[in-house]
Structure 1
Amino acid sequence: MKYIYLIRHCEADGQAFEATLTETGIKQANDLDNFFVEKRVERIISSPYKRAVQSIQPLAERLKLDIELEDRLTERVLSSKNLPDWYEKLQETFEDFDLKFDGGESSHEAMNRIVEVIEEVVQSTPDNVAIVTHGNLMALLLKHFHQEFSFNDWKKLSNPDVYLLKYQNYQTTFKRIWK
């Protein structure tokens, strides 16, 4: 059995690559570490975005594990242009997985890159892995495993959030485990 803890980063001060955790986000990162005390994590893979790394840093330090940075876990780029109606545009991409805006990536493209990471983790050792990413990418992965996962489910994700993916006998199930 493979256990993959899919983690959305803690509260941050914006969306930029260098955006850091807020004061609340720093507390959440420590809460996240405490949440994992009873769980066995043997490997940590994270988006290179500062807020993702900071979210998992306390756990990595306690467990004395390196944080492996993985570019395929980065925030999804909806568009390279400023979209004042980004929320509506994002919702459209949940309805049309091939929809793509200027300089952005479609839901299919974003989903494929996180699915690749999961497939590699499933084929590797160890069996207990924490993966830190961003809300939209997390939602797309969950939709990959359960077609009913929707835009409304994405809206319900919290910062942080944790889902446990269990992989056994070519079957993947998931469950939200964050409090």
Structure 2
Amino acid sequence: MSTFYLIRHCSATGQEPDARLTEAGAQQALALADFFQDIPVDRIISSDYTRATASIAPLATSKQLTIETEPKLRERILSLEPRDDWFDLLRHSFEDASFALPGAESGQDATERILSVIDSLDDVNGTTVLVTHGNLLALLLQHVDNRFDFDTWHTLSNPDVYFLKIVDNSWAVERVWSVRSCG
């Protein structure tokens, strides 16, 4: 049996890879560490973006674990250029998993990318924390349960935590904590 906690990073100053956490985001990272205080964690794997590693650093310190970085957990590239219609394009990409703008990544490709990380860990006993980004997390949730969709992405908080349990190739996911649930 493999268990995972899937975490969307805390509030950040932007979307670029080196965007730092906001002051609120730094407080959220401490709250995440508190949430996991009594939960055994064996491994932490994070997107290599600054906002992702900073989100999980307090937990890594409290559990005396090293943060392993994994580029496959980076946010999905919806467009290579800034777009005023990105919101509509993102909605469309949830409805058509093969949709991709030139040079960008389809929802299907991004889903396969995060699944490759989970598949490589599926036979590992213990609890692994994976830290990623909103779009990638929402695509994974949609893969596990098709009731998750664009509206799921739209309601994700920074941070957000889902519990994923895999038993005999049966996957179950549950939201266990969000910034909204802690006040």
The question of a shared fold, defined as TM-score above 0.5 by the shorter chain, is answered with yes
- 1:8-52: CA deviation from partner (whole Å, max 9, x where unpaired): 000000000000000000000000000000111110000000000
Structure 2 distance, partners of 1:16, 1:123, is 33
Letter matched to residue 167 of structure 1: I
Match of 2:98 in 1: 98
Structure 1 distance, partners of 2:123, 2:103, is 32
Structure 2 distance, partners of 1:172, 1:73, is 19
1:1-179 to 2 correspondences below 5 Å:
1-124=1-124, 126-178=125-177, 179=181
Residue pair 2:44, 2:129 contacting (<8 A) in 1 also: yes
More divergent stretch after superposition (145-154 vs 14-23): 145-154
Residue pair 2:2, 2:123 contacting (<8 A) in 1 also: no
Residue pair 2:9, 2:160 contacting (<8 A) in 1 also: yes
Structure 1 distance, partners of 2:167, 2:94, is 28
- 1:41-96: CA deviation from partner (whole Å, max 9, x where unpaired): 11000000000000000000111111110010001000111111101110010011
Residue pair 1:79, 1:104 contacting (<8 A) in 2 also: yes
1:123 deviates by 2.2
Classify the secondary structure of the residue corresponding to 2:122: helix
Classify the secondary structure of the residue corresponding to 2:97: coil
Structure 1 distance, partners of 2:20, 2:4, is 25
Name the TM-score, length of structure 2 as normaliser: 0.95
Classify the secondary structure of the residue corresponding to 2:120: helix
Structure 2 distance, partners of 1:103, 1:90, is 15
1:169 deviates by 1.8
Letter matched to residue 34 of structure 1: D
Structure 2, unaligned runs of 5 or more: none
Structure 1 distance, partners of 2:97, 2:173, is 22
Count the aligned residue pairs: 178
Superposed structure 1 runs of 4+ greater than 3 Å apart = none
Structure 1, unaligned runs of 5 or more: none
RMSD of aligned residue pairs (Cα, Å): 0.8
Structure 2 distance, partners of 1:62, 1:97, is 39
Name the TM-score, length of structure 1 as normaliser: 0.97
1:148 deviates by 1.8
